[in-house]
Amino acid sequence: MSAKPFDAADFRRALGSFATGVTIITTRSADGTPFGLTVNSFNSVSLNPPLVLWSLATSSLSLPAFQSAPHWAVHVLAADQDGLSGRFAKRGEDKFAGLDIETGVEGVPLLRGCMARFQCRTAFQYEGGDHVIFIGEVLSFDRNDAPPLVFHGGKYAHATLRDPPDLQPRSAHLAGSFGDDFLGYQLGRSHFRFLAQIRRYLTDAHLSDEDFYVLSALTLKARLTVADLDAGMAGILDESGHRALASLIERGLVRSSATDKQIYELTDSGRDSALRVISAAKAVEQQVLHRLGPGEAPVLKSLLARLLNVIDPAANALWQEKNADEGAPAAAHMR
């Protein structure tokens, strides 16, 4: 019985449903030229003897180098090495230019900052359709505990641990009450606890929460109209934003522009105040994220950014630097 022919793109998509890590495999040709490419077909084969495999497309420009190389090295990439993965996924090019390279067994180029590195001797090569399968005997390896880069469905992804048992959501034991996995509870409580740690710096700088939001908006958009403020803070500050702006002006932290009275900008002391609190707030952020761990922090941030995009798409406007002089909507007057 012959297999049903199938669509090549569909086949690729189906293969892409298998989530993998990402590696870069490097070698050095006989004339000393370094070669390397991004590979996710890497896999373990045997513990004893220690064997690993990967497959290389016959169309790859690196094929002759690997076919004749007695040694090569596998680099398992960490979550923050997607840029390096992109660089080594380009065809040809001088992929090693400007990189800080170490030298491994028999001169094999080694990349730094990876989660794990396996230095291998070519044990076997097999033809595998439009790929050549390389099996290597691992001669030495090193590793560190960075979070991994993941590839899934043709895109880079994050890997996080599933909920440990002590963090399984508890369902509400009272009918009609929320469980502790209710999004509003999680976001609300995190928000208040997080801000509470920043508030003492605000108090030191004699700033209310609202003052700080307006000052922060002015650090994003150097020249802000009230319309910008209204659009950026809609549903968050409203009238209290206008009161905060008036109070900041009164205290000499914000002034209206010399050229247009309806555009607001930070004064030197306003910038100083804002930067002082922002750097303290960033230090608080660092401490909190550090407790979360290096693998989880970028995942949380990426998911929150997506949540914000879904729940408050207008927030993007605040982050788009636009000169208030050009094309700003007719500025509303301070009320």
Ligand X SMILES: Cc1cc2nc3c(=O)[nH]c(=O)nc-3n(C[C@H](O)[C@H](O)[C@H](O)COP(=O)(O)O)c2cc1C
Beta carbons of 39 and 57 less than 8 angstroms apart:
no
Q: Is the peptide bond before 49 cis (omega within 30 degrees of 0)?
A: yes
**Alpha helices (runs of H) in 100-207, residue ranges in sequence order:** 183-204
- Does 134 contact ligand X by CB under 6 A? no
Among 88-96, 172-180, 193-201, 307-315, the segment contacting ligand X (CB under 6 A) = 88-96
- Which run of H or E residues covers position 44? strand 43-46
Q: How far is the CB of 131 from ligand X (least distance, A)?
A: 6
The binder of ligand X chosen from 29, 60, 160, 197 (CB under 6 A): 60
Q: Which is nearer to ligand X, 146 or 202 (CB)?
A: 146
User: Which amino acid appears at position 307 of this protein?
Assistant: L
Q: How far is the CB of 94 from ligand X (least distance, A)?
A: 10
Q: Which is nearer to ligand X, 56 or 237 (CB)?
A: 56
Planar angle of CA 259, 264, 269, nearest 5 degrees = 110
The binder of ligand X chosen from 72, 118, 134, 151 (CB under 6 A): 151
Q: What is the DSSP string of 66-87?
A: HHH-SEEEEEEPBGGGHHHHHH
- Does 115 contact ligand X by CB under 6 A? no
- Write the CA distances from 153 to 14, 18, 20, 41, integer angstroms: 8, 8, 10, 14
- Does 266 contact ligand X by CB under 6 A? no
The binder of ligand X chosen from 19, 61, 167, 311 (CB under 6 A): 61
Strand, helix or coil for residue 122:
strand
Q: In degrees rounded to 5, what are phi and psi of residue 327?
A: 65, 15
**Alpha helices (runs of H) in 205-267, residue ranges in sequence order:** 209-220, 226-232, 239-250
Among 83-91, 113-121, 230-238, 239-247, the segment contacting ligand X (CB under 6 A) = 83-91
Q: Which is nearer to ligand X, 22 or 138 (CB)?
A: 22
Q: How far is the CB of 123 from ligand X (least distance, A)?
A: 18
Beta carbons of 124 and 67 less than 8 angstroms apart:
no
Residues 16-55 that bind ligand X (CB under 6 A): 22, 37-41, 54-55
The binder of ligand X chosen from 11, 14, 70, 91 (CB under 6 A): 91
Q: Which is nearer to ligand X, 89 or 249 (CB)?
A: 89
Say how many residues touch ligand X, by CB under 6 A: 19
Beta carbons of 137 and 51 less than 8 angstroms apart:
yes
Q: How far is the CB of 55 from ligand X (least distance, A)?
A: 6
Handedness of CA 215, 219, 220, 225 (dihedral sign): positive
Q: How far is the CB of 58 from ligand X (least distance, A)?
A: 9
Question: What residue ranges bind ligand X (CB under 6 A)?
Answer: 22, 37-41, 54-57, 60-62, 85, 89-92, 151
